[in-house]
């Protein structure tokens, strides 16, 4: 990934942090206070020495605990404030990022839903935003805590002996080249690791979603092997990514040791030739060692930052996926009567070699019940797909009460239909909320819908009546109860009834939905 791509990702993530910039600025202030005390440690050490070694009566002994306790009290308060303010900013930014991802998910083009698996979507919306900002947050805290302190130590070293410090910087280009190579390897392995984890998530999603099929076919061993193979792939790439990350610190330390050796040798040479005293030498070396400890921590930041960049790129790809285009501008003046005409309609799905609908012309009279009968794949579901505006015909047109559906807004078009799909979809919510989905609660209308679907008596036997939770996709209900609950939801909508049954909705249930 290029530097421009990384910068683009950083800018886009930054827009979710910007509204909470006050918290971010206060975090920086807190860590500036923390970093500002770092240089005091070698300075205090220097007070214990004069040019001949340890000095006597440099300061009262009672000042030692007073100064040290006071110093660490300031550091502790600054550290707490910095971490709290940082996480305050982070959690709010995560909430906005998740909300933006869900908003994008809700507006995706229908074709995108055929390519993205539920487990992948859940991971990208729920887990990834937290992980991205947690990783970048850890990097940010380390940069504030160790990076600012390192800058302070470098400035202090220049103040003590600018010639030695300047010469030590000759290893910087070598360090940059080595870290660039290591980061390229880390990015490659992190990308493969992330992709393999999404595969693993989807395997688990398959097992939990299709557990009945798995048990029916006695496929537990088969699924276990599929999961194991995917898990081993994740382990393999995680290990390679960890190896690349682990290589960063020893390599950087090896390069840094060259500069350290050069500095110490020159410092000893100066002490012998120029008569530099013990105090100056000890102060310089103490500050230098503290700087190296900070640089060692900073060298560990490449791995989490690389992983955050890889995950962020994947989330932003979901955000940038094609959205549903609504070119309609008209609204029906009243609820549709239900007079539908399809004129020479042709539809071919992307990647298909044969059209799903080829020159189809049909008329559905208002107030009449019409049944479409045909073999699987004959195009019955494709007709419903087009009626609901989930796709556009390649040729021909579809009329609703004489108006082309392409001229209607998607929201207006879909309000005219009450659909019971062959794929029953229920929400992990109460019976009532599944029936009155996204609509105002009306108890009389709710009871009428339940009675129309022959569910009223059954619901009265439930522990909490209409407030009883149905489980994930109606998992607490039988197959027939799930179908009838979907029919009740269709009855609750004032629209044209469409039962796209196939094998999922029985003949009796299709008549109920009609």
Question: 416-514, which class in CATH?
Answer: alpha beta
**Model confidence band, residue 393 (pLDDT cutoffs 50, 70, 90):** very high
Determine how β-strand 417-420 pairs with β-strand 496-499: parallel
Domain with CATH 3.40.50.300 in the chain: 416-514
pLDDT at 429 over 80: yes
The hierarchical CATH code for the domain 8-320 is 1.20.1560.10
Reply yes or no on whether the pLDDT at 397 is more than 90: yes
DSSP code of 55? P
Residues of the chain with CATH 1.20.1560.10: 8-320
What does the pLDDT read at residue 277? Answer: 58
- What is the per-residue pLDDT for 61? 64
Is beta strand 417-420 parallel, antiparallel or unpaired with respect to 403-404? unpaired
Residue pair 277/287 in contact by the 8 Å Cβ criterion? no
Tokens 């009838």 belong to residue: 484
Q: What is the pLDDT of residue 271?
A: 66
User: 343-381: buried (b, 16+ CB within 10 Å) or exposed (e) per residue?
Assistant: bebebbeeeeeebbbeebeeebeeeeeeeeeeeeeebbb
For residue 41, pLDDT over 70 is answered with no
Find the mean pLDDT for residues 156-171.
74
Instruction: Determine the average pLDDT of the residues in 349-357.
Output: 86
What does the pLDDT read at residue 216?
74
Quick one: what percent of the chain has pLDDT higher than 70?
A: 87
pLDDT value of position 43:
65
Identify which of 31-35, 237-241, 296-300 has the greatest average pLDDT.
Answer: 237-241
Flag the least confident range among 264-273, 331-340, 453-462: 264-273
What pLDDT is stored for residue 503 in this prediction?
A: 43
Q: Give which of 331, 311, 295 is closest to 145, Cα–Cα.
A: 295
Quote the pTM value.
0.74
Tens of pLDDT, residue by residue over 57-96, are 555 666 667 777 787 788 888 889 988 998 899 889 999 9
Lowest-confidence segment of 161-165, 169-173, 393-397, 409-413 by average pLDDT? 169-173
Q: What is the pLDDT of residues 282-302, one digit of tens each?
A: 777 777 777 777 777 777 787
pLDDT, tens digit (0-9, with 9 covering 90-100), for 195-218: 898 888 888 888 887 877 788 778
| Contact of 422 with 513, CB cutoff 8 Å | no
Tell me what the mean pLDDT of segment 123-134 comes to: 88
Q: Is the per-residue pLDDT at 345 higher than 90?
A: yes
Question: What number is the average pLDDT over the span 407-433?
Answer: 88
> Are the CB atoms for 315 and 104 separated by under 8 Å?
no
Q: Give the Cα separation of 202 and 291 in Å (integer).
A: 46
């Amino acid at each position: 990934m290029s530097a421009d791509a990384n910068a683009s990702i950083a800018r886009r993530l930054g827009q979710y942090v910007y509204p909470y910039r006050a918290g971010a600025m206060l975090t920086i202030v807190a860590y500036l206070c923390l970093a500002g005390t770092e240089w005091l440690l070698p300075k205090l050490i220097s007070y214990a020495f004069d040019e001949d070694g340890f000095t006597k009566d440099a300061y009262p002994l009672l000042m030692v605990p007073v100064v040290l306790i006071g110093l660490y009290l300031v550091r502790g308060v600054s550290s707490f404030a910095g971490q709290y303010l940082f996480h305050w900013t982070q959690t709010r930014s995560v909430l906005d990022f998740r909300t933006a991802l869900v908003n994008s998910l809700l507006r995706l083009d229908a074709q995108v839903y055929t390519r993205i698996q539920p487990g992948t979507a859940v991971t990208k919306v729920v887990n990834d935003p937290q992980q991205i900002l947690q990783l970048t947050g850890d990097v940010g805290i380390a940069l504030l805590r160790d990076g600012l302190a390192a800058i302070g130590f470098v400035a202090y070293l220049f103040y003590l002996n600018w010639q030695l410090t300047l010469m030590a910087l000759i290893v910087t280009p070598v360090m940059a080249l080595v870290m660039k190579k290591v980061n390229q390897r880390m990015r490659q392995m992190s990308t493969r690791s992330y992709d393999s984890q999404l595969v693993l998530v989807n395997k688990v999603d398959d097992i939990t979603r299709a557990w009945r099929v798995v048990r029916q076919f006695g496929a537990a061993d088969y699924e276990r092997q599929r999961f194991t193979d995917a898990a081993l792939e994740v382990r393999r790439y995680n290990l390679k990514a960890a190896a690349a990350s682990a290589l960063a610190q020893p390599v950087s330390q090896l390069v840094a040791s060259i500069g350290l050796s050069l500095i110490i040798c020159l410092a000893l040479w100066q002490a012998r030739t120029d008569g530099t005293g013990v105090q100056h030498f000890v102060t310089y070396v103490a500050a230098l060692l503290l700087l190296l400890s900070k640089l060692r921590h900073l060298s560990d930041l490449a791995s989490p930052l690389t992983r955050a960049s890889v995950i962020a790129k994947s989330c932003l790809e979901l955000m940038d996926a094609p959205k549903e285009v609504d070119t309609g501008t008209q609204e029906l003046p009243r609820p549709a009567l239900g007079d539908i005409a399809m004129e020479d309609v042709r539809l071919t799905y992307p990647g298909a070699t044969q059209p799903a609908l080829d020159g189809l012309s049909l008329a559905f009279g208002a107030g009449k019940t019409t049944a479409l009968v045909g073999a699987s794949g004959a195009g019955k579901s494709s007709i419903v797909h087009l009626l609901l505006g989930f796709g556009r015909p390649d040729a021909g047109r579809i009329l609703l009460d004489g108006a082309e559906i392409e001229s209607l807004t998607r929201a207006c078009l879909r309000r005219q239909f009450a659909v019971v799909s062959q794929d029953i979809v229920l929400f992990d919510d109460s019976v009532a909320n599944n029936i009155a989905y996204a609509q105002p609660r009306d108890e009389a209308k709710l009871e009428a819908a339940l009675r129309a679907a022959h569910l009223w008596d059954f619901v009265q036997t439930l522990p909490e009546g209409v407030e009883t939770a149905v489980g994930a996709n109606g998992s607490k209900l039988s197959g027939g109860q799930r179908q009838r609950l979907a029919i009740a939801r269709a009855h609750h909508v004032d629209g044209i009834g469409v039962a796209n049954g196939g094998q999922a909705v029985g003949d009796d249930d299709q008549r109920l939905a009609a």
